[in-house]
Structure 1
């Protein structure tokens, strides 16, 4: 779950997985953008660790805000052509440097259907091998509208299940977080939220079964996330730029609505809850048995992570799909 790096210290790898255009990068930006608002009171601080990530986040954030205000038609952030790793330092306030690094590897959706191996597919394979956590982004309109007419084409549930299966076969405890995005229309009511959750369970039932039958016990959770909050799916229309294809059209939920992400913290809460338990319950050396791992890190970090993990939601679009001891609240 964690590796040691001479430069970055304790590192946790997370893979952002999903086909093209489902919203992986938008999820990452919203997660970072809103983190301090929900975690600051618990003493946790997350910072972008490299200049490239900081610059890209600023550009992505501006794109999301323009979309959230209805200024642009495109739903958030355009897809990347190459694999990108984003480094975030995580620690407690008042420390000169973070106590750990979160390394998010953002996989271009087009790479999942590439048949010729190259340097980029090698990075994908390595990311899945090293990651203890996989965030799987799901395009909600494609799943929910027109009886799921575009689900196979857009979300490719069978294909992503194959990638997850390959990762689980490598060994190690893993957490798969299914994250329905662009879901503002559906979570506006309790009934719509239930329908969305049921559709995810149905469409990804083979993936959920695969996680449940993994050689090393692994877990899966469902967390619905509104990356902008203000825009709701309206309709599909022909894509003028791509003959024979459709595009999603969104509209403001109300006049004057603004950028207001919801529940972007939940995937991170479940991720850290699982990771902390995995680290504390790993096979320890004799020296490590003398004192737990927090002794060499920071006791306040232990408490801050425990406080942060205590607010994992378990209803209204949030549920444990495959349970695991590491999903419990760290002691």
Structure 2
């Protein structure tokens, strides 16, 4: 029997931080002492993530985050979707690979409505993916419209308007349309993870994290309403996982060079601060919670050959199952981490 593969779509536009998110999960998992299994990338994935990790570890005291051209190195120049690489990780026990987790990335332009080829690819990817991680540019979602007085004469033009750049950076309408096309007549459960990144500024206290959660519910209310429709809600779990992808950079300000392309500035609190991502492993804990629950659902497995194969792995490797179960039990449920829908699909 071929090794079962679980596909997860990294959903987000250019410059949102999809690859940085994966890099931080990869880096942080290697430091966790509690686990009794391995989560390792294949050689091609490790090469990409190691390069990205080196860039993150060498960041200066202040950076300007400009809009990127593609999710992973070189994807903007790839001829077509069929040539896109994948981020492949293997869950292993005692050096035996048991389960493949495949995270699919793509040029961020695929999300846009003026890219019909890219959008068709994404619709197909969403249909076959067990889980979807929506990377959210947090400052763009939250920060009001305040232009830098040193760079613009229009400082008071639209002051106080929350999330001025949310639509331009996160494209929530385009993402909703993709779900509407892909999540019709669902035949098996799906997991949707809303993952705010670059959120260090907004999660330092429980109160601020609560406000961040409220903002997500507000800005993504059309998507949440669609996912919670009674015709499909029993098959969809939705969680929020605020990810501090670098841990040491905090939103400072933004300024406008091109009216349609704001430049977001992030600074360290101290020049001694270093790359230190936080809470990234909890996203993985929720994903594995979802798979572990599927292991115990006989009816779902009868309809899904892939999940049936996953169930076979857990049945044959009881020590592996126990290691995963122990890992997912410690997932965070506070400070912005919450199950918005489908708790029964994530019960351990």
Of 26, 37, 53, which residue of structure 2 is paired with 1:61? 53
Q: CA deviation at 1:294?
A: 4.8
Q: 1:299 aligns with which of 306, 315, 318?
A: 318
In structure 1, how many angstroms separate the alpha carbons of the residues matched to 2:99 and 2:203?
34
Contact 2:247 2:275 in 1 (8 A): yes
Partners of 1:15 and 1:107 within 8 A in 2: no
Matched, 1:165 2:165: no
The number of aligned residues is 311
* Separation of aligned partners in 1, 2:104 and 2:185: 18
Is 1:45 the counterpart of 2:38 in the alignment? yes
Aligned partners of 2:67, 2:217: CA distance in 1, in Å?
26
Residue 145 of structure 2 corresponds to residue 129 of structure 1: no
Deviation string 1:196-221 (CA, Å, 9 cap, x unpaired) is 11100111111112221253521100
What's 1:139 paired with? 137
What is the deviation of 1:169? 1.3
Distance across 1 between alignment mates of 2:52 and 2:65: 13
Task: Please say if residues 18 and 107 of structure 1, whose CA atoms lie closer than 8 Å, have aligned partners that are also in contact.
Answer: no
Q: What corresponds to 2:148 in structure 1?
A: none
Task: Please state whether the residue corresponding to 2:4 is helix, strand or coil.
Answer: strand
2:238 matches 1:238: no
**1:178-193 aligned within 5 A:** 178-193=194-209
Kindly indicate whether residue 13 of structure 2 is the aligned counterpart of residue 19 of structure 1. Answer: yes
Specify every segment of 5 or more residues in structure 1 that has no aligned partner in the other structure, as ranges.
Answer: none
Residue 81 (structure 2) aligns with: none
Q: Does 1:153 align with 2:168?
A: yes
SS in 1 for 2:200: coil
Offset at residue 156 of structure 1 (A): 1.5
CA distance in 1, matches of 2:343, 2:254: 39
Alignment match, 1:204: 220
- The two structures have a TM-score, normalised by structure 2, of 0.82
CA contact (8 A) 1:272 1:305 kept: yes
What value does the CA root-mean-square deviation take over the aligned residues? 2.4
2:67–2:261: 8 Å Cα contact kept in structure 1? no
Q: Unaligned regions of 5+ residues in structure 2, if any?
A: 79-83, 145-161, 303-307
Secondary structure in 1 matching 2:289:
helix
For the pair 1:264 / 2:280, whether they are aligned, the reply is: yes
Q: CA deviation at 1:107?
A: 3.0
CA apart distance, 1:244: 4.8
Decide whether the 8 Å contact of 1:63 with 1:76 is kept in 2: no
Shift of residue 142, structure 1, vs aligned partner:
0.7
Contact 2:253–2:264 (Cα < 8 Å) also in 1? yes
Q: Identify the range of structure 1 (73-82 vs 135-144) with the bigger mean alpha-carbon deviation.
A: 73-82
Once the 2 structures are TM-superposed, how far is the Cα of residue 191 of structure 1 from its aligned partner?
2.3
CA contact (8 A) 2:113 2:174 kept: no
Q: Contact between 2:135 and 2:197, CA under 8 Å: does it hold in 1?
A: yes
* SS state at 1:253 partner: coil
Whole-angstrom distance in 2 between the partners of 1:76 and 1:20: 6
Q: Partners in 2 of 1:251 and 1:116 — Cα distance?
A: 34
